[in-house]
Amino acid sequence: MQIGKTRFVWGSRTYVMGVINATPDSFSGDGIVDPNAAAQQARTMVEAGADIIDIGAESTRPDFAPIDADEEWERLSLVLGAVRRAVRNTPITVDTTKASVATRAIGAGANAVNDVTGLQGDPDMAAAIAKEGVPVVIMHNQRGREFGGDVVEDVRNGLRRGIALAEAAGVPRDQIILDPGFGFGWGPVQNYNLMRRLGELRDLGRPLLVGTSRKTFIGYVVDRPAPQRVWGTAATVALAIQQGVDIVRVHDVEEMVQVARVSDAVVRGVLP
């Protein structure tokens, strides 16, 4: 898959996506609203080995306060511009649920869209992505849905709904990445069951992205606030790679790049 100027070869190694939250209310305590600070964070992440930078301007924490498209773009635009100038050759994904924001972000230098509603939040999103001709990350979001009794089957069905919406709008299947949506509507038991059985989702035939970084289900076990969950996150990253995940979305890039490289050496036989 081509994302921006970078060609991603799935299965060759694990790619690392660094998170920049352009919000004042990030769950992980790392919100950045100053464009210069965001640009420096992006440079630091790329120097540490990040393959992709993911920028979002609306919090998706469980108790988040929704904002409209104009406010989201006001937050996002300056940060996106600064990051694009700072890391000119690194792919950038925009984390948004709104078609109008996605379209404006792509025009301002974003290379792909990351939608935590799986294209089911804005009826215009799938068509906007198809029109722009960029890849999309489709996430399963369990919030507001009834648990069917099998976490993997619920996730699989949700991802299939997103794939169907994308393809119906004209997004080629080979432009789709899937995210099972850790933490989005699941309790600790379901999150750990999903982690244990993650490899079963390979049957969907698309690359998998996993975003477990600093999340509450890790804190449930290690009893640490979000910024101190780095080693709990490391365990989930290593286990995800063991099950064939292609991209890990993380806050602590330097540490997780090491985890990914050693895990790849074991799982994929990828050595320097």
Domain assignment present for residue 114? The answer is yes
**Structural domains in the chain (count):** 1
Whether 25 has a pLDDT exceeding 90, the answer reads no
CB of 264 closer than 8 Å to CB of 14: yes
The residues assigned a catalytic role are: 215, 249
Interior/surface letters 219-257, b for 16+ CB within 10 angstroms, e for the rest = beeeeeebeebbebbbebbbbbbebbbbbbbbbbbbbbb
Range of the domain at 201: 2-267
Q: How confident is the model at residue 30 (pLDDT cuts 50, 70, 90)?
A: low
Q: What is the CATH number of the domain that holds 159?
A: 3.20.20.20
- For 228-250, the pLDDT digits (tens) are 999 999 999 999 999 999 999 99
Whether 32 has a pLDDT exceeding 90, the answer reads no
Domain assignment present for residue 39? The answer is yes
Between the CA atoms of 97, 158, 132 and 31, what dihedral angle is there, to the nearest 10 degrees? 30
pTM over 0.85: yes
Domain assignment present for residue 272? The answer is no
Q: What is the DSSP letter of 7?
A: E
